[in-house]
Structure 1
């Protein structure tokens, strides 16, 4: 059985500029097919627009407000919103209030699957 406590996970900055704490992934559990992390995006520091060739992502907004852009479509996001980001979709999230959200990736997140040019 694997149980990880969020408060015990060290934050790091991803390639897109968000600060995350990995809750369950290949680095801290016997994970095969997905990853779960808490992400924080402060006001005035949007993630860098990017895409993943392999990973499908879910964002689930816990706190804050902002704008989610996926392939040129912009929507306001707030607590309780679940966002699907398909593989290959360009995306960026911008905080109008500091955002805290869960990010699930399948296959698991990796820096190597984060692209900034087509």
Structure 2
């Protein structure tokens, strides 16, 4: 069994948290939490296809210049080479699951 209690934790950005639920070369599944008014760097992946699924809050995903507000129990697919940036534009935390196939390790180019 895996949960945030026993998964490997990491910090990123400005106070954001992540937990590796599955961390393999063929698949990466992470649970991430972003405080209000935070964002990641805009980037793309050469090979990895991702799916973001929101658990709580509203995730604003900029995808190829268009912003999508993804509410709890909704998701968005990010294909390889698509430039994107996850943002929390709200005044509440947002939590989501990111599934990447294959892993994003060594496959990210920041813009």
Whether the TM-score (by the shorter chain) exceeds 0.5 is yes
In the alignment, structure 2 segments of 5+ residues that lack a partner are none
Q: Does 1:74 align with 2:72?
A: no
TM-score by length of 1: 0.82
**Whole-Å separation in 2 of the counterparts to 1:36 and 1:10:** 12
* Larger helix percent: 1
Number of equivalenced pairs: 107
TM-score by length of 2: 0.86
**Whole-Å separation in 2 of the counterparts to 1:19 and 1:53:** 24
* Larger strand percent: 2
Partner of 1:106: 101
Partner of 2:22: 24
CA RMSD of aligned residues (A): 1.6
Structure 1 residue ranges (4+ consecutive) displaced by more than 6 angstroms after TM superposition = none
**Whole-Å separation in 2 of the counterparts to 1:5 and 1:93:** 23
**Whole-Å separation in 2 of the counterparts to 1:113 and 1:50:** 10
8 Å Cα contact 1:69/1:91 also seen in 2: yes
